[in-house]
């Protein structure tokens, strides 16, 4: 069975880029899907979508030509299994602080004997004639001091594919306050630790871009799974820029 886009990129040593989807709109999800992005990350933790929106949003993303991951609200096997049943190519689990939590997430995504997922696929998750599961990606987030201290063991956990740094929460944990630059030296050093652990254990390191120039830093650090922005952010930035420009034009006409 073919690998998903994240697995293919990891095999080839190249990065993939994704975008957060926080707005529960099928039209918006389809637009994101056809943007050329590698994957769209449906955010059930902090976005406004809920579990009832997931199936239609995944279908819209696929219609646009991309693939969907789902960030669940916690390391809850039921939420993870449900996202997989609905067709996500992977699940992002926040606030993973121990290898036991990482193992719980990885095993919830996979059928026995290597996992504990209950069989009940609603969409493309299993091919009985081939006896194999559809490809999927387990992403765990490092966002706490405990998680950072345990990052080597977390990266070593079987079934974990990507270790993703949550820069805002990790920055808060590091005592940096609400830092939305993503480039504080103390945070950068923590990200280096995560990248090093991933390299030791053959996993993909991931980062969240908080500003337009962040991807360069993340790539230079060795991260190969990178989010670029969000649908809500792009809407806000786009209209704010147009409004500002319109007001400038109006002022120049009035003053002229």
Burial class (CB in 10 A: 0-12, 13-18, 19+), 146: middle
Q: What is the DSSP letter of 181?
A: S
26 contacts 58 by C-beta, under 8 angstroms = no
Q: In whole angstroms, what is the distance from residue 194 CA to residue 203 CA?
A: 10
Residue 83 falls in which region: left (phi positive, over 0), alpha (psi -120 to 50) or beta: alpha
Residue tagged active-site, from 34, 46, 124, 186: 46
Contact 225, 205 (CB under 8 A): yes
Asked if residues 40 and 29 have their Cβ atoms less than 8 Å apart, the reply is: yes
Does 201 participate in catalysis according to the annotation?
Answer: no
With contact defined as beta carbons under 8 Å apart, do 157 and 99 qualify? yes
What is d(CA 55, CA 139) in angstroms, rounded to the nearest whole number?
20
Residue pair 30/64 in contact (Cβ under 8 Å)? The answer is: yes
Query: At 206, which helix (H) or strand (E)?
Result: strand 204-208
CB 44 within 8 Å of CB 54: yes
Active site residues: 46
């Amino acid at each position: 069975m073919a690998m998903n886009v994240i697995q293919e990129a990891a095999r080839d040593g190249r990065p993939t880029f994704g975008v957060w989807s926080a707005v529960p709109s099928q039209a918006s999800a389809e637009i994101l899907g056809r943007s050329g992005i590698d994957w769209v990350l449906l955010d059930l933790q902090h976005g406004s979508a809920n579990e009832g929106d997931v199936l239609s949003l995944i279908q819209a993303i696929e219609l646009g030509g991309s693939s969907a991951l789902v960030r669940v609200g916690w390391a809850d096997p039921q939420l993870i299994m449900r996202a997989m049943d609905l067709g996500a190519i992977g699940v992002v689990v926040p606030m993973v602080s121990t290898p036991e939590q990482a193992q719980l997430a990885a095993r919830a995504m996979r059928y026995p004997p290597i996992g504990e997922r209950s069989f009940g696929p609603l969409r493309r998750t299993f091919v009985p004639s081939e006896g194999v599961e559809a490809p999927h990606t387990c992403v765990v987030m490092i966002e706490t001091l405990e998680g950072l201290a345990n990052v080597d063991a977390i990266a070593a956990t079987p079934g974990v594919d990507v270790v993703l740094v949550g820069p805002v929460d990790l920055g808060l944990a590091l005592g940096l306050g609400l830092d939305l630059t993503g480039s504080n030296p103390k945070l950068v050093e923590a990200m280096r630790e995560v990248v090093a652990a991933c390299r030791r254990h053959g996993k993909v390191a991931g980062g969240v871009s908080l500003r337009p120039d962040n991807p360069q830093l993340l790539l230079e650090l060795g991260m190969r799974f990178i989010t670029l922005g969000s649908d809500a952010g792009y809407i806000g930035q786009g209209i704010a820029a147009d409004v500002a420009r319109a007001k400038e034009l109006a002022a120049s006409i009035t003053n002229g």
